Amino acid sequence: MFDSQTNSYLDDDSPHEECGVIGIFAPSEDVARMTFFGLFALQHRGQEAAGMAVADGVTMSIHKGMGLVSHVFTPNSMADLNGHYAIGHTRYSTTGSSSLRNAQPFMIETIHGPLALAHNGNLINSAELRKELMQQGVGFSSSSDTEVMTMMLARNGGDTWEERIKTAMKKWVGAYSLVILTRDCVYAVRDPWGFRPLCIGLLPSGGHAVASEVGALQTLGCDAIRDVKPGEVVSLSNNALKVMQAIPSVTPSAMCVFEHIYFARPDQTWDGINVHHVRQRLGEELAREVENGLLREADKRIMADVVIPVPDSSIPAAIGFSHVSGIPYNDGFIKNRYVGRTFIEPTDSLRKRGVALKFNVINENVRDKRVVMIDDSIVRGNTTGPLIKLLRNAGAKEVHVAITCPPIAHPCFMGVDMGMRKGMIAHKRTVDEIREFVGADGLYYLSVDGMMRALNRKDGFCQACFTGQYPVAVDLSNVKTGFEKVTK
Ligand code: SF4
């Protein structure tokens, strides 16, 4: 829930994913309805705006709006969305750009016909590209890098859209998993680093669908699912699925590790790795590190009576932690899954209740117990303390906090909103100082090595928010955050 008085999410200290995308070619189906249900399955990737564009081989229509997929789309608003080709988008936006003008897809008329684009990610050189286009006389109606990409595609030379996309990819630096709609084709495009997921599947009735997550494809009944590989452009149209390696992939890849830690649904499988399994192993590795005293020599191991997750993303990790540590697992919090999805601001008295608006404690499961609370991450540190307080008020004797990733001390410029360094609790603070700040009896973070062991990989994942080592060089004066400050 966004609180305009404090300019923050009252009950939420997780990083925010910027979007989910879907694209469908289905010759004998109501493609708008399919896109709606696909977007529904991607709702967790963005709750602030949704949209879809549909083409019938000749014309293109679009509908988008602020709010949840079920608010934006009604039988009425979908009545004119007819055709065989569609793309859709769910959006989370940063504070400065939460407006309808930034909702996606972006649709424009070009010399080559209508063009629409929906994007998950963030171009780190968008300010520079935007300036170049403006110097050439191009005007913009939004502050979004997606509009920059749309305008570049419209202006690029080349006989086919594939050629124009390939030319643009050579200039785009950063994270982009895209779906592009023309009057008679859907294109799926992934950046050469592979930052964000994008997968493709075969529809039971013929045709194909592409989406940020496998779960959305399974909702549509797809099988034969494969990833769109880094640097690829895949065309979905009347012709068979066409795959082009538009630009070489970067080795090693830089898949966002946070997809596994927090963003993706547990049923997501990405590059052959299932998210639920990773989360369980993150909990197992964390328990091993705590037992070995790797993080805090003095503790050796946590002596506790119960392991509880902060629902929902930490449930598999808590199961894994319990399995390795031998400390029994139980539910401690009940989460109201709907309160964080409202645009109605709380009254002052309700605001003071903070996370208590979203979480209730099952008192009987924590009273007189030494509790280990498992959570996926701490960014600003504004939620952990209140959660600990809820447990103490419910009678917990001790509260230890175990986090399934390393301390987050660096911003993300590849499409995830974590804020800047000065707002991060781990910036310039030791683990013990953070423990004191949140009021825990113990605080334990998983190491980078432990995280990679859980992924069963040595490399191939971006870890920049933990290490500060970005897979692409970042010019701070040229990234989106700086750019939005100028244009707000
Ligand atoms: S910096 Fe962190 S959140 Fe951003 S892409 Fe890398 S791992 Fe993901």
Ligand 1 pocket test, pick from 416, 467, 470, 479 with the greatest ligand atom count within 8 Å of Cβ, gives 416
Whose alpha carbon is nearest atom 2 of ligand 1?
A: 465
The tokens for 265 are 């649904």
How far does residue 122's CA lie from ligand 1's centre (Å)? 11
Whose alpha carbon is nearest atom 4 of ligand 1?
A: 412
Atom of ligand 1 nearest to the CA of 463: 7
Residues 448 and 354 in one domain: yes
pLDDT in tens, 33-85: 999 999 999 999 988 899 999 999 999 999 999 989 999 999 999 999 999 99
User: Do the domain assignments include residue 166?
Assistant: yes
**113: three-class secondary structure by DSSP:** strand
With a 6 Å cutoff on the Cβ, whether 413 touches ligand 1 is: no
- Note the pLDDT of residue 373: 97
Using alpha carbons, select from 163, 133, 161, 167 the residue that is nearest to residue 147. Answer: 133
With a 6 Å cutoff on the Cβ, whether 465 touches ligand 1 is: yes
Which residues, 6+ apart, have CB-to-CB distance to 159 below 8 Å?
none
Whose alpha carbon is nearest atom 5 of ligand 1?
A: 256
- Note the pLDDT of residue 143: 81
Domain end, chosen from 199, 220, 254, is at: 254
With a 6 Å cutoff on the Cβ, whether 445 touches ligand 1 is: no
With a 6 Å cutoff on the Cβ, whether 464 touches ligand 1 is: yes
Residues 294 and 230 in one domain: no
User: Do the domain assignments include residue 471?
Assistant: no
Ligand 1 pocket test, pick from 94, 262, 412 with the greatest ligand atom count within 8 Å of Cβ, gives 412
Question: What CATH number is attached to the domain comprising 11?
Answer: 3.60.20.10
Determine the Cα–Cα distance for residues 225 and 216; give it in Å rounded to an integer. 11
Determine the Cα–Cα distance for residues 353 and 346; give it in Å rounded to an integer. 10
Residues 203 and 104 in one domain: yes
Residues 140 and 288 in one domain: no
With a 6 Å cutoff on the Cβ, whether 479 touches ligand 1 is: no
Residues 350 and 399 in one domain: yes
Residues 413 and 291 in one domain: yes
How far does residue 254's CA lie from ligand 1's centre (Å)? 9
User: Do the domain assignments include residue 268?
Assistant: no
With a 6 Å cutoff on the Cβ, whether 263 touches ligand 1 is: no
Using CA atoms, how far residue 31 sits from 84, 160, 308, 416, in Å, is 6, 24, 42, 30
Per DSSP bridges, beta strands 174-182 and 113-123 are: antiparallel
With a 6 Å cutoff on the Cβ, whether 256 touches ligand 1 is: yes
Give 188's strand partners. Answer: 179, 234
Residues 245 and 326 in one domain: no
User: Do the domain assignments include residue 34?
Assistant: yes
With a 6 Å cutoff on the Cβ, whether 424 touches ligand 1 is: no
How many Cβ atoms are within 10 Å of 485's Cβ, its own excluded?
Answer: 9
- Note the pLDDT of residue 2: 40
- Note the pLDDT of residue 101: 83
Question: What CATH number is attached to the domain comprising 389?
Answer: 3.40.50.2020
Determine the Cα–Cα distance for residues 383 and 355; give it in Å rounded to an integer. 7
Residue 339: domain span: 273-457
- Note the pLDDT of residue 4: 40
Residues 277 and 320 in one domain: yes
User: Do the domain assignments include residue 475?
Assistant: no
377 in Cβ contact with 408 (< 8 Å): yes
| 215: Cα separation from own chain's centroid | 14
- Note the pLDDT of residue 444: 94
- Note the pLDDT of residue 96: 39
Ligand 1 pocket test, pick from 45, 414, 417, 424 with the greatest ligand atom count within 8 Å of Cβ, gives 414
Domain end, chosen from 196, 219, 254, is at: 254
- Note the pLDDT of residue 11: 46
Which residues, 6+ apart, have CB-to-CB distance to 146 below 8 Å?
104, 106, 117, 118, 119
Residues 246 and 293 in one domain: no
How far does residue 114's CA lie from ligand 1's centre (Å)? 33
Residue-level pLDDT, tens digit, the chain, 488 residues: 444 443 344 445 666 656 999 999 999 899 999 999 999 999 999 888 999 999 999 999 999 999 899 999 999 999 999 999 999 999 986 433 557 888 899 999 999 999 999 999 999 999 999 999 999 999 988 888 999 999 999 998 889 999 999 999 999 999 999 999 999 999 999 999 999 999 999 999 889 999 999 999 999 999 888 999 999 999 999 877 999 999 999 999 999 999 999 999 999 999 999 999 999 999 999 999 987 765 555 555 678 999 999 998 899 999 999 999 999 999 999 988 776 555 566 677 776 677 888 899 999 999 999 999 999 999 988 899 999 999 999 999 999 999 999 999 999 999 888 888 888 999 989 999 999 999 999 999 999 999 999 999 999 999 999 999 999 988 766 665 433 332 22
With a 6 Å cutoff on the Cβ, whether 405 touches ligand 1 is: no
- Note the pLDDT of residue 12: 59
Atom of ligand 1 nearest to the CA of 258: 8
How far does residue 123's CA lie from ligand 1's centre (Å)? 13
User: Do the domain assignments include residue 480?
Assistant: no
Whether the CA torsion 208, 214, 219, 224 is positive or negative: it is positive
Whose alpha carbon is nearest atom 6 of ligand 1?
A: 462
With a 6 Å cutoff on the Cβ, whether 195 touches ligand 1 is: yes
Tally of structural domains, the chain:
2
User: Do the domain assignments include residue 60?
Assistant: yes
Residues 289 and 218 in one domain: no
What is the biggest distance separating any 2 CA atoms in the chain, rounded to whole angstroms?
72
- Note the pLDDT of residue 346: 67
User: Do the domain assignments include residue 483?
Assistant: no
Using alpha carbons, select from 42, 22, 102 the residue that is nearest to residue 488. Answer: 102
Catalytic site positions: 19
pLDDT in tens, 88-144: 999 986 433 557 888 899 999 999 999 999 999 999 999 999 999 999 999 988 888
Domain end, chosen from 227, 254, 281, is at: 254
Residues 326 and 441 in one domain: yes
Residues 250 and 285 in one domain: no
